[in-house]
Structure 1
Amino acid sequence: MPSSISASVQKTIPQSKNQARMLWLLVSFAYLLIVSQRTAPGIISDQLLSEFHVSASVLGLMSTFQFVMYAGLQIPIGLWAARLGPARLLLVGILASGLGTILYSTADSLPLLFATRALIGFGDAFIWVNCVLILGKAFEPRSFSTMIGMTGAMGSLGNMLTTMPLAWWVTASGWRLPFTCMGIILLVHALIMYRGFSRRDMLFPADAANLHPAVTLREFATLIRKRTVWGPFLCHFGIIGTYVGFTSVWAIPYLLDMYGISRAEAASILGLALISAVAGGPLSGWMAARAGNCRTPYIWLQVLNVTVWSVFLLTKAHPPLALVYVLFIALGFGIGISTLTFASIRESFPVAQVGALTGLANTGGFFSAVLLPPIMGLVFDHLGLHSQQAYAVAFIIPVLFASIGIAGGLMLSKPKHV
């Protein structure tokens, strides 16, 4: 660890494997809860269209509002987490998301709906970078790829909660009660985290005034001039944004419109994708170990991603329903393994740069997620939301975005630091 980071940060490292695992459970469950809020609105897209009398592009813009807030904060959080403390920032994120979710469930106007999703995005922004930093201190480098993959799997479990279970709950009670309950659960976990972090002296270390950012703004400006720094950014742009942007807004309407299936069955397709993502997360560490690096398996993952989106495009948005199941499973598997983005940063760059570069790479994924929903929404507004022609044209967008991920994979540097 660089000398600019105080020894008090080192003290947050658990002294036993059991302590490390308990800390992982505390942090990863927070990530599970937060991720559930990213795709939950996708389950109720058609209800929001009807209740608030908005167009498809406006609904896509609401998703963009949330992701803009998220993406815009990634780099600042990565730069300053060492100074402010990743545990503190993680706690702030959970509190903001919990409050935002409760307010979202009570929104009675479009401006309030937008404002509450922005607050949720604000809270979400504090989660992943700080999870990476906390786990990076809790586990040895050789264990980090596996643990970060398992954390990603917990996020996929969070997504699963917003497929069939949420669809059934929404059908039974409407959409407001489930979101109120999710907000309350977030606030309760914030209290649990506060107690857990306080016991480990992670929130208010005695010499907190001596903490400094691992990378200064000037150093970061120099760092981003390097070509290899942008590899993880583009990889995440290609694989995260396409999946998150599509499933958070348009996947359920697409499945309902093209196949005439029930909301529960459409949600079950997303659920299968997330089960696949849960499996993919822990496998990311194994694949990197087998290949001897993160670069090789990640390039092949980007190729798989482009191939899957191309099938939707080449079949004019209407592949056989059985194949749709397979395609969503493949997309989910790719999302699970996408934690290789952060493992590749850890293996290729000095520890001092990991926080800032994690924030940069995460920005890439959600910058893509910001762009994709409203661009697809414009296509639907022009050609008609429920038409096959509109979906056939709209699938050009994720294919193009995914292709950028291949370029990112080729830009990844070979490991120099362990």
Structure 2
Amino acid sequence: MSTGIAPTSATRTDRPTHPRPSTRAWLVWSFGVLAYILAIVSRSSLSAVAAETSDRFGVTAATLSTFAVLQLGVYGAMQIPVGLILDRIGPRRVLTVGLLVMALGQGLLAVTESVPGAFAARFLVGAGDATIFVSVVRLIIAWFPPRQAPLLTQVTGLIAQFGQIVSVIPLLALVHSRGWTFAFLGLALVLLLVAIAVGASVRDHPPHHEAPVLPAGPRVVQRVREVWSNPGTRLGFWAHFVTPHGGNVIALLWGFPYLTAGEGLPIGQAQALLSIQVVAGAVFGLLIGRFAGRHPLRRSWAVLAVVGIQAVALAVVVANPGPAPVWQLLILVMCFAAGGPGSLVGLDFARTSNPPHLTSSATGMANSAGFLASLLALLMIGALLDVQNAGTPDTYSLEGFRIAFCSLYLLWLVGVVGVLHNRRRLRRVMAENGVHVPPLREVVNRYQRRR
């Protein structure tokens, strides 16, 4: 079985050459970014209205976590099937259907008042969300030169994170001023309109450009095994696993309750910090994207650095005897913001290590990892809050949140082990193919000699 290893996008010789991106390419990309922004709004909508959700459905922290866990579980479980479907039918149809499914989910959430109805709504939102980012990545690969793909993927992710600001400020304001039903029906309508626009305007690839030809067979299970057997895919999986779950916990559910009910910040300050998280993510995205593009053989160091600053920032906040100073919370939120851009390095590992006809399958497989980690983090935090009798808006406590957030360290430990193990295996295969990655000390010594 062929490994399909290609360590960097710069060394790929099996991709078609691209001219300079056309105006149509940027238009297609813009529609993809708009779709991803709305996916982020839908994904993080319960974070800003966590207290309102708890009151509307009469649920505790564990059940509230289950809403987000179900959504992330569906997202993660659908990544491999979505990748396989993308490789077969292309991103336009997958993206359009995903937006329609999310619109249906938000519409159901707007009108239901029962817990089963809310579960069904979040199931639909997770299913629709699962199609969006991998479809946009596929459009980037088809419409832009390979050398631009890592940075443009980062830019896509960082722009889309502004959807979190929409959920934290305008959506919350609409819920307070016009009511729950009006706010979520409005979001459903916007999703529907964008789905129509995407279906009418987006094309899978440029004119006169042939899509990658899928070889006959193998069967689905064999293709999944082929993709997973590639150490680059596994490295991408663990890189995506270890980086984003801290930021997702804050953005998807527990950030607003932690900052207001736990740390005692006014609503305005909490909104400002969560908005700064988005801006910080944009800055980290540019830095990490540029680093990954210029040093493709050292991309894993960006992943490990992101984990390191997140772990240290959380330790500093947790070590406070009382409420943390705002500047420490600001640093924590900014460090967690690096998780999103860091996770995209994992997708880059999967993309550049597989042949073109397996790109979406590999990307989907890697993309499931961060949401699996986020699912586990949300489950553990909700359960730990309930165990401490701090699982409802009336009983949230700073100490309860601190103990619950320490569960993130277990996921960081598991993820770092996975990254180091699979990096070693990938480098071994690369060496067999004639690509040698010199030890870091050798690179440092060489740089010092040049100085």
Do the two structures share a fold, i.e. TM-score over 0.5?
A: yes
Residues 347/84 of structure 1: CA separation in 2 closer, same or farther (3 Å cut): closer
Could you state the TM-score of these two structures normalised by the residue count of structure 1? 0.88
Q: 1:351: which partner in 2?
A: 356
Identify which of 238, 244, 257 aligns with 1:240: 244
- 1:15 Cα deviation (Å)? 8.3
Residues 311/228 of structure 1: CA separation in 2 closer, same or farther (3 Å cut): farther
Residues 227/107 of structure 1: CA separation in 2 closer, same or farther (3 Å cut): same
The answer as to whether partners of 1:149 and 1:337 remain within 8 angstroms in 2 is no
Superposed CA deviations along residues 317-360 of structure 1, whole A, max 9, x for unmatched, are 84222210121012113323432222222333333332122111
SS at match of 1:248: helix
Identify which of 89, 93, 101 aligns with 2:98: 93
Identify which of 275, 278, 283 aligns with 1:274: 278
Distance (Å, rounded) in 2 between the aligned partners of 1:277 and 1:175: 29
Q: 2:85: which partner in 1?
A: 80
SS at match of 1:315: coil
- Residue identity matched to 1:107: T
The answer as to whether partners of 1:31 and 1:127 remain within 8 angstroms in 2 is yes
Q: 1:289: which partner in 2?
A: 293
The answer as to whether partners of 1:58 and 1:374 remain within 8 angstroms in 2 is no
Distance (Å, rounded) in 2 between the aligned partners of 1:365 and 1:108: 30
The answer as to whether partners of 2:243 and 2:303 remain within 8 angstroms in 1 is no
The answer as to whether partners of 2:102 and 2:125 remain within 8 angstroms in 1 is yes
Give aligned pairs, total: 404
Is 1:333 matched up with 2:338?
yes
In terms of Rg, which structure is larger? 2
- 1:60 Cα deviation (Å)? 0.6
Distance (Å, rounded) in 1 between the aligned partners of 2:405 and 2:194: 38
Could you state the TM-score of these two structures normalised by the residue count of structure 2? 0.82
Identical pairs, percent: 25
Is 1:23 matched up with 2:24?
no
Distance (Å, rounded) in 2 between the aligned partners of 1:307 and 1:148: 27
SS at match of 1:108: coil
Identify which of 118, 140, 144 aligns with 2:145: 140
The answer as to whether partners of 1:236 and 1:362 remain within 8 angstroms in 2 is yes
The answer as to whether partners of 2:70 and 2:119 remain within 8 angstroms in 1 is yes
Residues 87/320 of structure 1: CA separation in 2 closer, same or farther (3 Å cut): same
Distance (Å, rounded) in 1 between the aligned partners of 2:74 and 2:246: 18
Distance (Å, rounded) in 2 between the aligned partners of 1:75 and 1:14: 31
Is 1:407 matched up with 2:417?
yes
Give unmatched runs, 5+ long, in structure 1. 3-9
Residues 310/408 of structure 1: CA separation in 2 closer, same or farther (3 Å cut): farther
Distance (Å, rounded) in 1 between the aligned partners of 2:359 and 2:24: 23
Superposed CA deviations along residues 124-183 of structure 1, whole A, max 9, x for unmatched, are 111111111121111111000111011101221111211233333333233332221111
- 1:302 Cα deviation (Å)? 2.3
Residues 310/403 of structure 1: CA separation in 2 closer, same or farther (3 Å cut): farther
Superposed CA deviations along residues 213-237 of structure 1, whole A, max 9, x for unmatched, are 8974303214424554322212222
Q: 1:192: which partner in 2?
A: 197
Identify which of 252, 256, 272 aligns with 2:256: 252
Q: 1:319: which partner in 2?
A: 324
The answer as to whether partners of 1:232 and 1:408 remain within 8 angstroms in 2 is no
Distance (Å, rounded) in 2 between the aligned partners of 1:387 and 1:285: 38
Distance (Å, rounded) in 1 between the aligned partners of 2:402 and 2:32: 40
Q: 1:5: which partner in 2?
A: none
Q: 1:69: which partner in 2?
A: 74
- 1:61 Cα deviation (Å)? 0.8
Identify which of 23, 44, 49 aligns with 1:44: 49
SS at match of 1:65: helix
Residues 201/50 of structure 1: CA separation in 2 closer, same or farther (3 Å cut): closer
Q: CA RMSD in A?
A: 2.8
